[in-house]
Chain A
Amino acid sequence: MKVLRPRSADEALRLFSENPLALPFSGGTDLMVAWNMGSLNGKPVLDLSAIREWIGIRKMPGGLAVGALTTHAELRDHPEIRRNFPLLAAACAAVGSVQIQNRGTLGGNIANASPAGDTFPALAVYEARVRTISRHGRRNIPFLHMFAGVKKTALNQTELIEAVELPFLHAKPARQVFRKVGTRAAQAISKTVAAGLVWLEKGGAIKEFRFALGSMAPTVRRLAAAEAFLKGRTPSSSAIETAAGLLTKDVHPIDDFRSTAEYRLEVSRNILRSFLGT
């Protein structure tokens, strides 16, 4: 097996362009599963784990930049993340198990593009941007534009994720929620996973509402219709019910061997109802 182990981003880009079929490897928690099933045999591996510049959380103007190789465990425990982006910290604490959190990275989670990626709803409501790099330069991609479908990203061939940028929120939200609904207490794939933020006017009307759901469509979705409907409204029970009804404008859950469309939809609605109703 051919393993390429760049020590810097520049070297990584060079090696990747020389070996365009190589598999970028960060924590390997998704890749090892695929290897075991025999689907990756023979491909060279581009091991990114020695690229120091891509590890860790740094301040940037107006926000934080999370290196692609930052693990779920670091994000889960990091004081700045916990203070400014608690939904992301909560999401990372809900990934797999302690073992998976210790190895799995944010960049790997995004690049893997599973419909059930647990960090995605939080990154969607925080309006994160994904910074990518290739020999042709950098791109700064709005989080929702990162995904093209199940296991499909907007990355070009030989393009890598370098960091995730998290802009600070303009004001402290009145309420926030993260909720993962999996198949068991650990090592669970989400049936639905939600993150929400709401800001209120003095009188109690909704100033801004952001809500995102994972596992409810081929890619993570913001609830554009419900968000627009609630803006400026008081969260009365009838307004909440209307918003809950609007879910299907943006998500299309399915029946599979993990759950049913009915369950996914009703539980997502319940999370939304309770978030706005309490």
Chain B
Amino acid sequence: MARIAVGFAFGAIKKIQFDPCCPWKDAVVADTKDIPGENCVATIEADQPLLAPGRVMHPMEPILLVAHPDRNKVWQAARHVQITYEERDPVLTIEESLARKQLLRGTDNVFKEYLIERGSVKDGFLEAAHIVEGEYRTPPQEHAYIEPNGMAAWVEENGAIVVAGSMQCPYYVQKALKRIFPGRNIRVIQAVTGGAFGGKEDYPSMLAGHVALLALKSRKPVKMLYDRSEDMAATTKRHPSIVRHRTGLTKDGRLTAQDIDIVFDGGAYITLSPVVLSRGTLHATGPYACPNVRVRSRAVATNTPPNGAFRGFGAPQTLFAVEAHWEKIAQETGLDPLKLRRRNLVKEGSVMATGQVLKESVSASEALERCVARASYEAARLSHASVNRKPGPVWKGMGLALVHHGPGFTGSGEVMLASRAAVALNRDGMVSVLAATTEMGQGEATVLTQIVAETLGLDMSLVRVETPDTAKVPNSGPTVASRTTMIIGNILMKASLKLKDKVAKELGAFPTTAKGLKAAGRKLCAKGPLHFEEEYQKPPEIVWNEAAYKGDAYGVYGYEAIIVDLSVDRLTYEVKVDRVFTSTDVGRAIHPDLVRGQIAGGTVQGLGWALTENAVFSRGSMANSQFTNYVIPTFADAPAMDLDIIENPYPRGPYGAKGIGELPHNAPAPAVVAAVRQATGLLITELPVLPEKICHGMLMKKGRTS
């Protein structure tokens, strides 16, 4: 099946005509009139329609759906639909949205805004010896998961709709479908999923709605698999951002004020923008203690496809700004970026902008010092400076960044999710893990198995993980936000302890051999599995006030320092990342190889965002929606990596673990900017740091443009 869009960014649909020369009789076409319930794809709000209701807000917005038994015919049919429309001048950039070129949302185009205030920035600036301002910009980023978004649906005899596909969050899909098909039984099954990175958090709900609608209308199974180009053009991207900093410092570099203004481009509909913006806002100060802070943030509407979740969820954008800003501060004050960080980083007892007191597991300093030592940072910087003074093929640069990341949902998010997960002893003597948490290559099935096996004292081979299927597993919430190990792992650990107690009570001791478990299964599970389900319990000492936006934004933070060592070719300005050093606090590495996998992968993905990934938009749609021209790093681009794991346990995580999935993406980009500055003397404040920008900067320096 195919979805039909018109390719203009903004305007009204006047007329839809079906060319009679096309054999429509085998095709099934669905439009808004076929939707039995609400025409919406509900996420946080329900503002995004499943099919455009007479007007189009972005060029990839679906208008009609066509299904046909023959894949080639479906494309033919799609070409025989004529849509007459009235195009209006679209809003394509953050600047145009803020200037209210057109009103797309409310009276100001703002989807959501936040304000954090601590102390008085006014007083902070009065106290400052230096005041430094800077503006930082980041582009959209494509997830580039292995298989594109795809979904299948069929209707069972009892009227239930079943959808199966590549996804992160089966219960999100179910929740969205319930509003489109009220009163129907909806079952959602995760198919094998090869990566998502946030790109299969909200979009699968749209696709599921489309296939289910056609399956219902045609009474046949329907499948829709985007090809790469359609996937890149139609599905979500990382929010583009503009972040402005105004920073006050004492003579010796202590922060007196951070005044930060953030704008994210949300695209045409609100989707996940409020929560992405929230995380971006809460990470905007970086892992630094400053007595006077103001963070103002807005997500605005434009006529581009909605931007959505992407590894880091807003934090990479704002951490890029605060970390790159140290280079600006260094440039203007002559202070050293390493010393500036040492002077200001958070320690145990530090207070964040929301008033959160960091009570435990604070590793900013340890991460920084370990990374600096492993990379011989100070010596390497000196030797690079002397290389750069002499002729040679390359300029060398080494750059540093220090970041943090709060694992788990922001603020009261986990309380609202009220996630549930279960373990069960089965009749066959196997223990099963029941959660909607999805495996997509990150290794959650391994880690959850480990946690349950460890808690029960079992070999891992005696534990199996059930396929996420809403008919079989409880709602453990979405597989996002670096929450799986820490939150779901913890719930499963508690459930495992209950199972262990119960069995021990019945049998005297919990058996730990296959034979013993089989006997226990036969004895205790005659009427069905022995099932223990637990719900997330908020630790009472973590307190967040959503209305005032104050308190413990996250239970804990992970920390990472990164050092990027690179060369810039003096003829071609190509950047080659030679080596990367990371020191990363994960609380406890439940599976060290998987942790290293996350750090290495997140680092390369972050380097892609920093250096080569340049999504070009033209009239609101992605012009380079192929891997030929949207340039993600290959293995040949991946640098040598020194991955140093720090284990500073978090007592409320299972075995001390904190989340790790997103943290590594936060760090590379600002370190690249710092290293390129050492190599070339240019401070490039807008990603990606393309050779074209370095070339232009060098020509400007020489006072010559060609």
Whether A263 and B692, one on each chain, are in contact in the complex, defined by CB atoms closer than 8 angstroms, is yes
Instruction: Pick from B227, B633, B706 the residue with the most CB of A within 10 Å.
Output: B706
Q: Which of B227, B623, B627 is close to A257, meaning CB atoms less than 8 Å apart?
A: B623
- Measured between beta carbons, the chain A residues less than 8 angstroms from B636 are 97, 184-186
Within 8 A of B (CB), among A256-278: 257-260, 262-263, 265-267, 269-271, 274
Whether A184 and B572, one on each chain, are in contact in the complex, defined by CB atoms closer than 8 angstroms, is no
Whether A274 and B571, one on each chain, are in contact in the complex, defined by CB atoms closer than 8 angstroms, is yes
The proximity string for B residues 620-634 relative to A, scoring 1 for CB distances below 8 Å and 0 otherwise, is 000110011101011
- Measured between beta carbons, the chain B residues less than 8 angstroms from A137 are none
Whether A270 and B571, one on each chain, are in contact in the complex, defined by CB atoms closer than 8 angstroms, is yes
Q: How far is the CA of A36 from the CA of B229 in the complex (A)?
A: 11
Whether A263 and B574, one on each chain, are in contact in the complex, defined by CB atoms closer than 8 angstroms, is no
- Measured between beta carbons, the chain A residues less than 8 angstroms from B692 are 259-260, 262-263
Q: Which of B75, B614, B623, B695 is close to A263, meaning CB atoms less than 8 Å apart?
A: B695
Q: How far is the CA of A258 from the CA of B630 in the complex (A)?
A: 9
Within 8 A of A (CB), among B680-706: 691-692, 695-696, 699, 705-706
A40 smallest CB distance to B (angstroms): 13
Q: List the A residue with the shortest CB-CB distance to B695.
A: A263
Whether A262 and B705, one on each chain, are in contact in the complex, defined by CB atoms closer than 8 angstroms, is yes
Within 8 A of A (CB), among B596-635: 612, 614, 616, 623-624, 627-629, 631, 633-635
- Any B CB within 8 A of the CB of A41: yes
Within 8 A of A (CB), among B81-107: none
What would 18 more interface pairs be, CB under 8 Å, given A181-B691, A260-B692, A267-B572?
A: A181-B572, A183-B612, A184-B612, A184-B634, A185-B576, A185-B636, A185-B637, A186-B637, A187-B634, A189-B629, A257-B616, A257-B623, A259-B692, A262-B695, A263-B573, A263-B696, A267-B571, A270-B571
Within 8 A of B (CB), among A29-57: 36-38, 41
A262 smallest CB distance to B (angstroms): 6
Q: List the B residue with the shortest CB-CB distance to A273.
A: B571
Q: How far is the CA of A186 from the CA of B612 in the complex (A)?
A: 13
Whether B629 and A262, one on each chain, are in contact in the complex, defined by CB atoms closer than 8 angstroms, is no
Q: Which of A37, A183, A263, A270 is close to B631, meaning CB atoms less than 8 Å apart?
A: A183
A-B pairs, top 4 by smallest CB distance, nearest first, are A185-B636, A186-B636, A270-B571, A263-B692
Q: Which of A97, A257, A262 is close to B624, meaning CB atoms less than 8 Å apart?
A: A257
Whether A266 and B706, one on each chain, are in contact in the complex, defined by CB atoms closer than 8 angstroms, is yes
- A–B complex contacts, Cβ < 8 Å, 30 sampled: A36-B227, A41-B72, A97-B636, A179-B572, A181-B572, A181-B691, A183-B629, A183-B631, A184-B631, A184-B634, A185-B576, A185-B636, A185-B637, A186-B636, A187-B627, A189-B629, A257-B629, A258-B629, A259-B692, A263-B691, A263-B692, A263-B696, A265-B706, A266-B695, A266-B699, A267-B691, A269-B706, A270-B572, A271-B571, A274-B571
B interface size (C-beta, 8 A): 31
- Measured between beta carbons, the chain A residues less than 8 angstroms from B612 are 183-184
B566 smallest CB distance to A (angstroms): 13
Q: How far is the CA of A97 from the CA of B573 in the complex (A)?
A: 22
Q: How far is the CA of A258 from the CA of B614 in the complex (A)?
A: 9
A interface size (C-beta, 8 A): 27
A243 smallest CB distance to B (angstroms): 14
Q: How far is the CA of A36 from the CA of B635 in the complex (A)?
A: 24
- B interface residues (Cβ-Cβ under 8 A, vs A): 72, 75, 227, 229, 570-574, 576, 612, 614, 616, 623-624, 627-629, 631, 633-637, 691-692, 695-696, 699, 705-706
Q: How far is the CA of A185 from the CA of B614 in the complex (A)?
A: 16
Instruction: Pick from B75, B572, B696 the residue with the most CB of A within 10 Å.
Output: B572
Q: List the A residue with the shortest CB-CB distance to B691.
A: A263
Q: How far is the CA of A184 from the CA of B534 in the complex (A)?
A: 48
Q: How far is the CA of A258 from the CA of B627 in the complex (A)?
A: 12
Q: How far is the CA of A270 from the CA of B694 in the complex (A)?
A: 14
A275 smallest CB distance to B (angstroms): 10
With contact pairs A257-B614, A271-B571 given, residues A184 and B695 touching in the complex (Cβ less than 8 Å): no
B593 smallest CB distance to A (angstroms): 25
B149 smallest CB distance to A (angstroms): 17
With contact pairs A257-B616, A257-B623, A260-B692 given, residues A267 and B634 touching in the complex (Cβ less than 8 Å): no
A259 smallest CB distance to B (angstroms): 6
The proximity string for A residues 56-69 relative to B, scoring 1 for CB distances below 8 Å and 0 otherwise, is 00000000000000
B632 smallest CB distance to A (angstroms): 8
- Measured between beta carbons, the chain A residues less than 8 angstroms from B570 are 270
- Measured between beta carbons, the chain A residues less than 8 angstroms from B614 are 257
Q: How far is the CA of A262 from the CA of B697 in the complex (A)?
A: 11
B580 smallest CB distance to A (angstroms): 15
A229 smallest CB distance to B (angstroms): 18
Whether B695 and A267, one on each chain, are in contact in the complex, defined by CB atoms closer than 8 angstroms, is yes
With contact pairs A262-B699, A263-B695 given, residues A185 and B616 touching in the complex (Cβ less than 8 Å): no
Q: List the B residue with the shortest CB-CB distance to A248.
A: B706
Q: How far is the CA of A271 from the CA of B692 in the complex (A)?
A: 15
- Measured between beta carbons, the chain A residues less than 8 angstroms from B631 are 183-184, 188
- Measured between beta carbons, the chain A residues less than 8 angstroms from B628 are 187, 189
